[in-house]
Amino acid sequence: MRIAQTLAVTTFLAALAGCARAPSSFTDADRAAIRATVDSFTTAIRKGDYGSAASYYAENAVFMPANAPAVEGRAGIQKAFESFGRVTSFSQPIAELDGVGDVAYARLNADLTFTPPNATAAMTDKAKVLIVMRKQADGNWRTVAGMVNSDLPMPGSPQAKR
């Protein structure tokens, strides 16, 4: 009787495991689509087209800029981008990209030169960027969370005084 119960439980667990869906694979086509998306976003920022740049974020995304509070929602993200003012150069090569199914992440190294509104001098920042993307129902990859961490010391910090 004990063998029959063990066999029944084992059979049930095996059937249950078979019902679990394995995550879909993350393909070379997904990687290429994300690289193209990052390139298009970078071009939009470089051109000062902040509405287009924000469209690469999901409607309910969160953007976590360096030295500032998090911004939620596409409209807020666009306003955060507008604070860059005039961008004279921007690059963000992908250092690492991976994912599973409809979720992916990319680690980037950014280099940005811009003149904020009402400023007379350009600012340059180098930063590390981490984005989490989700494949949307329309098949496009959009950022759902993005974080920027500046490589430069904060003004007034001991490192900045060196």
Instruction: Please state the length of the chain.
Output: 162
User: Tokens 């904060």 sit at which residue?
Assistant: 154
Residue 133, Cβ density class (10 Å: 0-12 exposed, 13-18 middle, ≥19 buried): buried
Instruction: Please give the tally of structural domains in the chain.
Output: 1
Domain-located, residue 18: no
Q: How far apart are CA 16 and CA 19, in angstroms?
A: 5
- Estimate to the nearest angstrom the gap between the alpha carbon of 106 and the chain centroid: 6
pLDDT digits (tens, 9 = 90+) for 18-40: 555 555 789 999 999 999 999 99
Q: pLDDT > 70: what percent of the chain?
A: 82
Q: What is the pLDDT of residues 47-95, one digit of tens each?
A: 999 999 999 999 999 999 998 999 999 999 999 999 999 999 999 999 9
Say how many C-beta atoms besides its own lie within 10 A of residue 71's C-beta: 20
Q: Residue 117's domain spans which residues?
A: 24-150
Residue 98, domain member (yes or no): yes
Question: Has residue 161 been placed in a domain?
Answer: no
CATH number at residue 76: 3.10.450.50
